[in-house]
Structures are given as C-alpha cells and as structure tokens.
Amino acid sequence: MKKPNVTESASYDNFVGKKEENAAPTLLDFFEEDGINVPEDDKVWKKHWVGMPEFVQEDNKTYKTIQVHFRTKEDYLDFAKMINQNLSDKTKSIWHPKLDITKNSLLRWIEEE
C-alpha cells in the first residue's frame, strides 16, 4: 500500500538543533555530542556539584518473588484478608510485610536561615 503524500499546512519556527544563547546549562551539556559518554576528566562535573548533599543509593534487592494463582475472586479476597493488605483487580504486585512508602511529595529539603 502506497503511503499518502501529506504536506505541512501550518508554518512554524523550527528550533531543532538550535540553542538559546543565554540558556542555563543542562545535564546534556556535560556529555559528548556523538553519544552520551561520561567525560574522561571527572573534574568537569565536580566543579558544578558544589555544596550538594552526599547521596548513596542502597541496593535493596528482592529476596524472593513468587507468582500466586487464585481459582476464584473469593479466594483472592480471602488472601487479601489473611495478609492484611488492600488488593484490587489492578494490583500487579505487593510486598510482604506491607512496604511503608513515604510519598515523594512529603519530602522537602529545608535550609534554616
């Protein structure tokens, strides 16, 4: 099947590949243009990472993952009661015991004056 020939019906300014002259630097400014390669000189990013807090991501791996099958909806609801968790038709996974998650919206960086 031949593709239809569609012509642009609106005019617009094409800024693809153009950079605003006084724009603030972005993360991509610290990488090479031919691909995202970390610069060889680590000091390039260190001069911009001044006064930032130290952060180490913990590696919280899952011990074991299992699939559980239910023959009926009643079995599913009974299981939810036994483990004391709210399960719905949209539930895809859970943690046991229930994972206590802090919403990101509640996290703030507060600096005293």
pLDDT average, residue stretch 65-84: 94
Q: Are 76 and 84 in contact (CB under 8 A)?
A: no
pLDDT average, residue stretch 70-76: 95
- Taking phi first (over 0 means left), then psi (-120 to 50 degrees means alpha), and beta for anything else, what does residue 47 get? alpha
pLDDT band with cut points at 50, 70 and 90 for residue 36: low
Helices and strands in the chain: count of H runs, count of E runs: 2, 0
State the pLDDT at residue 11.
Answer: 75
pTM of the full structure: 0.42
Q: Specify the residue for token string 């610069």.
A: 39
Say how far residue 28 (Cα) sits from the centre of its chain: 17
pLDDT average, residue stretch 12-30: 70
DSSP assignment letter at 76: H
